Amino acid sequence: AQSVAQPEDQVNVAEGNPLTVKCTYSVSGNPYLFWYVQYPNRGLQFLLKYITGDNLVKGSYGFEAEFNKSQTSFHLKKPSALVSDSALYFCAVRDWEGSQGNLIFGKGTKLSVKP
């Protein structure tokens, strides 16, 4: 089955600094990759996706992600972090093998941005 891994449980960044939240994937064929964010007591909100085309994908709230096929990665980035970016971030991939296209999520990375 296809999967994603988020190697960091938590990322700490100072406000104004760049941030990176890491994601690696394991798929056969072309991956359909997504990033979602979850604020406390809220549902998941879509940030961005990579399906095909340009490896640098821009999304909501100033976030972007870079698809790297050789490293099987899809890291989430932002040039300048805000305190309000503090939340849980989930990477996800479409599982075309085992589950007919269901979205499979990583375990999440908690981003903490300090003033």
Q: Which residues bind another protein (CB under 8 A)?
A: 32, 34, 36, 41-46, 49, 51, 90, 92, 94, 96, 99-108
Q: Residue 78 Cβ, how far from another protein at the closest point, in Å? A: 20
Q: Identify the DSSP state of 16.
A: T
H helix intervals, 9-105: none
Rounded to the nearest whole angstrom, what is the least distance from the CB of residue 71 to another protein in the complex? 21
Which of helix, strand or coil describes residue 83?
helix
CB of residue 13 to another protein, shortest distance in Å: 20
- Alpha-carbon torsion 88, 61, 33, 74, what sign? negative
